[in-house]
């Protein structure tokens, strides 16, 4: 037997929409979600209903799903940027908050209402970077040079400005490992750091400005470091790290 298409009663949409929106206004989010989901199941929903579902999901604690649905709406030119940015703050995705607001500003959209959240997110990012730098400080004070090198290999370059004082102390400490010092100088040069630094390595003491480091000098240092590494058979024990040092 051929299935007949069920045609909803003409007042069903109006009733479900009214009940759903009233529940949303009264903060009965679970109830509102139930009514609005029925609209979707009956294919009577639109973008406004979808946005209301996003709010219900967010308030019910299903933030990940709410964010995903909101992104889909925004891709279609619908949705609500204020709600989306609030979700990002709730998820502590501060980098995304900053990126989204700057993107909207480039598009010429008035972001005045979002500026407090932008400032808050930038403050939180700075705080996170400072906390991570403090964690790294104790590691660089120690002698686990392989661990130190792994940190530098995976370093978020936005942290470099916070790590400069740590690098300065490390570079002038004659007891610290040469391969770590060479890697630090490479990072500082890449970030165009212009602060003069005392470097003690290979029995020499010199003052360098990382941004002005000569490529040939760096190459000679790296060759010396790799020679040390090979003699200690570290290349065989940790080939991945050795390859990274060569780059």
Measured torsion, CA atoms of residues 187, 193, 196, 198, in degrees rounded to the nearest 10: -10
- Positive/negative CA dihedral, 139, 145, 150, 216: positive
Q: Flag whether 210 is in a domain.
A: yes
* Domains of the chain: total: 2
- pTM (global) more than 0.85: no
**CATH code (residue 49):** 1.25.40
pLDDT at 76 over 80: yes
Helix (H) or strand (E) holding 207: strand 204-208
Tokens found for residue 58: 């967010």
Backbone φ and ψ for 138, nearest 5 degrees, come out as -65, -35
Per the DSSP assignment, residues forming a β-bridge with 197 are 208
Does residue 87 sit in the same domain as residue 151? no
pLDDT of residue 169: 95
Average pLDDT of the segment spanning 203-211:
88
Which of 91, 108, 123 delimits the end of a domain? 91
Of the two residues 245 and 149, the one the predictor is more confident about is 149
Segment 136-158 shows an average pLDDT of 91
Is 129 contained in some domain?
no
133 in a domain, yes or no?
no
pLDDT of residue 1 exceeding 50: no
Q: Which of 70, 91, 112 is where one domain is finished?
A: 91
- Identify the band that residue 3 occupies on the pLDDT scale cut at 50, 70 and 90: very low
Task: With CA atoms as reference, report the closest residue to 91 among 117, 127, 129, 112.
Answer: 117
Domain assignment of residue 174, given as a range: 142-246
Residue 59 has pLDDT above 80, yes or no: yes
| Shared-domain flag, residues 156 and 85 | no
- Whether residue 228 sits in one domain with residue 155: yes
Among residues 91, 106, 132, the one where a domain terminates is 91
Task: Specify whether 223 is located in the same domain as 158.
Answer: yes
Phi and psi at residue 120, to the nearest 5°: -65, -45
Please compute the mean of the pLDDT values over residues 129-157 and round it to a whole number. Answer: 91
What Cα–Cα distance (Å) separates residue 89 from each residue in 84, 116, 121, 158, 199? 9, 12, 8, 20, 42
Q: Is residue 163 part of a domain?
A: yes
Range name among 39-43, 67-71, 162-166, 187-191 with the lowest pLDDT average: 39-43
């Amino acid at each position: 037997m051929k299935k007949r298409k069920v045609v909803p009663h003409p007042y069903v949409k109006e009733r479900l929409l009214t009940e759903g929106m009233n529940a949303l206004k009264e903060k009965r989010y679970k109830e509102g979600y139930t009514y609005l989901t029925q609209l979707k199941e009956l294919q009577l929903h639109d973008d406004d209903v979808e946005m209301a579902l996003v709010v219900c999901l967010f308030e019910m604690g299903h933030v990940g799903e709410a964010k995903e649905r909101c992104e889909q709406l925004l891709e279609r030119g619908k949705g609500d940027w204020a709600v989306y940015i609030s979700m990002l703050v709730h998820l502590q995705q501060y980098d995304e908050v900053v990126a989204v607001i700057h993107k909207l500003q480039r598009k010429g959209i008035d972001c005045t209402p979002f500026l407090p959240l932008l400032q808050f997110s930038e403050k939180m990012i700075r705080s996170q970077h400072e906390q991570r730098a403090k964690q790294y400080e104790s590691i660089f004070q120690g002698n686990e040079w392989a661990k130190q090198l792994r940190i530098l290999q995976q370093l978020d370059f936005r942290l470099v400005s916070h790590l400069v004082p740590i690098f300065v102390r490390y570079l002038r400490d004659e007891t610290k490992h040469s391969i770590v010092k060479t890697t630090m100088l490479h990072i500082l040069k890449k970030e165009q750091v212009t602060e003069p630094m005392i470097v003690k390595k290979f029995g020499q003491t010199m003052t360098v400005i990382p941004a002005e480091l000569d490529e040939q000098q760096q190459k000679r240092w790296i060759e010396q470091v790799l020679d040390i590494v090979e003699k200690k058979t570290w290349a065989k024990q940790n080939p991945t790290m050795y390859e990274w040092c060569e780059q």
